[in-house]
Amino acid sequence: MPITSKEALSRAIRLTESEEKWEEKGSSTLPLLISDHIASMLSIPEIRRQFVPSCEENEDEEGNLDPLEEEAHEKAGRLIHRYHNRAAFLVTDRCFSYCRHCFRRRFTGSLTGPASEEEIREAADYISSHSEIKEILLTGGDMFTLSDDRIDTLLDIFKGRCPDVIFRLCTRAAAVYPERFTNRLFSILRKHQTGAPFYLMTQFNHPAELTDEAIRAVNGFLDLGIPAMNQSVLLRGVNDDPDTLIELCNKLLYYRIKPYYLFQGDLVRGTQHLRVPIEKGLEIEKRMRSELSGLGMPQYTIDLPDGGGKVILTENHLVMKKGHEYIFTAPEGGTRVYPDPVN
What are the backbone dihedrals phi and psi of residue 172, each rounded to the nearest 5 degrees, phi first? -105, -5
Q: What angle do CA 53, 49, 141 make, to 5 degrees?
A: 65
Kindly give, in sequence order, each residue whose CB lies less than 8 Å from that of residue 41, ignoring residues fewer than 6 positions away.
Answer: 47, 208
Q: Using an 8 Å Cβ cutoff, are 220 and 179 in contact?
A: no
Known catalytic residues? 82-83, 86, 95, 99, 102, 104, 266, 303, 310
